[in-house]
Amino acid sequence: MTTPHTRNWLQTLVAFDTTSRNSNLHLIEHVRDALAAHGVPVQLFKSPDGAKSNLFATLPAQDGGTQGGIVLSGHTDVVPVDGQQWDTDPFALTERDGRLYGRGTCDMKGFIAAGLALVPEFLAMPRRKPLHFALSYDEEVGCIGAPVMLEQLKLQGQRFDGCIVGEPTSMQPVVAHKGINVWRCKVHGKAAHSSLTPSGSNAIEYAARLICRIRDLAEAFKAQGPYDPFFDVPYTTMTTNRISGGIAVNTIPEHCEFAYEFRNLPGMVPDDIQAQVEAYVQQELLPRMRREFAEARIEFESLAGAPSFDSADTEAINVLVQALTGDREKRKVAYATEAGLFQQAGIPSVVCGPGAITEAHKANEYVELAQLARCEQFLRKLAQSL
């Protein structure tokens, strides 16, 4: 049975509209004040412009120690509700048929709420090791916030035994995920009246050639691998998802811009994949364009990225989480989380949280009360194990 404290915390968190385009400071400051009321030390690590912030809090061990222990990691931002048809107010928690509806209930304020609700219980436990909260900003737009926090913790000399990233996994441990890499490409040709085609250089058509090349690379990964059968999509994927260009039907377009992403299996180097895209541009596409227009150019810009994550079966954090959940199945997922960033920082990690990823980002997003109850039970066992 979910405690009223978790439901109350989730109601509070959902009411803060922390869509990534907005500031999360009101939520962060509310959590800071609530933890401070319990005597919990809190640090805020703000974004460069000061508009957003990470929060890091430590519940010390019984002897006052703050080194080691487990980090509970969650992101505070949510995806937009623009254009979605909701049956309820997305920023007002609504209970119906054993479910709690609202933006972020599943991804991933439910996990944060369960952890915060149990703080008084955690503090009353005679723990030998500390327990930490790491709340980040801008995960949904490229895992931008967490690196700021991790760098500061590294400078402070902080050490941790492990990290649990509470993304929605239906409370089933996930030991690996793909990396995500998002790129923008800008193609610059030469405008001309469409009746004088030879005097122009068509940016859209050359962009189309490059998009087809990206699709060819994707087909090669699908046909030739490498593969990992534990993933739902067992190979690296590439896809172009946005494009714009041109000003009129009778004008050769001077500019075309598109965005593409690839999700690489652990062990594959993202720079090597991007290098194949850029090699095609340098060796084939640009020479063709410049025969038409000497000043033609193609530019690439990295928009976002998160590293892949792959945890060994023997990692202590994996063994612990499997024991606490009673679930020893090996799971790997195609979506990305902040676990790869924690792993890069030398912190062994696992992904495990309430809710189903299939409900994330959708209209009428929800988390089941039963999932939150399982999360509470898991977190109590975790704290007791410390």
- DSSP 8-state assignment for residue 43: E
Tokens 């801008």 correspond to 138
* 372 close to 166: Cβ distance less than 8 angstroms: no
Distance CA 189, CA 255 (A): 6
Residue 231 CB neighbours (<10 A): 19
The answer to whether the beta carbons of residues 376 and 6 sit under 8 Å apart is yes
Q: Give how far the C-alpha of residue 240 lies from the chain's centroid of Cα atoms, to the nearest Å.
A: 19
End-to-end alpha-carbon separation of the chain, Å? 24
Nearest Cα to Cα of residue 132 among 241, 202, 32, 58: 58
Angle 380-384-386 (CA atoms, 0-180°, nearest 5)? 125
| Dihedral sign for Cα atoms in the order 102, 107, 109, 113 | positive
Q: Identify the active-site residue in 107, 139, 338, 368.
A: 139
Cα angle vertex 231, ends 70, 341, to 5°?
35
Which listed residue (77, 167, 310, 365) is catalytic?
77
Q: How far is CA 60 from CA 41, 132, 206, 316, 354, in A?
A: 9, 8, 59, 21, 25
In sequence order, the 6+-apart residues with CB closer than 8 A to the CB of 199 are 190, 192
Active site residue 140: no
The first and second tokens of residue 189, run together, are 């040709």
Residue whose tokens read 């109850």: 373
Report the distance separating Cα 221 and Cα 237, nearest Å. Answer: 7
77 is catalytic: yes
- Annotated active-site positions, please? 77, 139
